[in-house]
Amino acid sequence: VSQYAREIFAAQDTRRSVTGLTLCGMRLWAFDRLGAIASKTFDIHENALMFISAVLGYLCAAAKDLGFNPTTCGEMGSRYIEITRNALPERYHLDGVIKRRRCAAGRATPCWEVHGDKSGQSLVVKDSWEHKERPEEGPLLKKVTDAGVRNVAEYYYHETILMSRDSFLVSRQARRCLNEALAIPHPASFLISVCYRVVIFYILTFLYGF
């Protein structure tokens, strides 16, 4: 099931997490950017109500609860993001993925080419899950852009987006009762409900770390 979860992460560029189940020894799974957690196994014949509840839960869950990024709006072919820059709202349509890490564990960094809804201006948007031990990239890019440094992506905008009311540190909350050595294959601490977004000017060739 972990291989299928990895393929879903790779194929769907707006995934925060992936949920699933296994029937041979019924077990519910949740994969996020630190690895996987699972329920205890149960028999679907002896615990039919639990099985039905799980299936109904998946069927009735909102897209956000199934692991999709709520900051990306629209359907495939007409997806867009919205930002507020200089107190004015701006909408940018996603033209395609430039670069994406094809992995399950990690910061899940996708880069999209986008264009403005009204201006038509081409930009690059980079999203990543915030790492509590790393400095923010936006202020650093703004500093080098203001200094006129060449061969570095030109800064346009950055923001930190909360997916929920509280920052959700996976290693301390979602897995607080688990043995980290066994439950978390990736040792870093990510804020799974905090998305860090950087917007830069689009150029054909730019030096930027993914």
Residue bearing tokens 């399950």: 104
The two structure tokens encoding residue 162: 């909360």
Percent of the chain's residues with pLDDT above 90: 5
DSSP H/E element including 140: helix 137-146
- Top mean-pLDDT range of 9-18, 42-51, 157-166: 42-51
The two structure tokens encoding residue 133: 């031990």
Beta strand segments in 33-87, E: 35-38, 80-85
Query: Which residues are within 8 A (CB) of 99 and not within 5 positions of it... i.e. 6 or more apart?
Result: 109, 110, 111, 210
Q: DSSP assignment of 38-53, as one string?
A: EPPPB-TTTTHHHHHH
Q: Would the pLDDT of 148 be above 80? A: yes
* Range name among 44-53, 72-81, 146-155 with the lowest pLDDT average: 72-81
What pLDDT does 169 receive?
46
Check if the beta carbon of residue 33 is closer than 8 Å to that of residue 192.
yes
**What is the C-alpha separation between 129 and 33, in angstroms, rounded?**
9
Mean pLDDT for the stretch of residues 115-138 = 81
Kindly list the domain boundaries of the chain, sorted by start residue: 2-60, 80-201
Q: What is the mean pLDDT of the chain?
A: 76
Q: What is the pTM of this model?
A: 0.71
* Range name among 31-40, 77-86, 148-157, 170-179 with the lowest pLDDT average: 170-179
Mean pLDDT for the stretch of residues 81-97 = 89
What pLDDT does 111 receive?
85
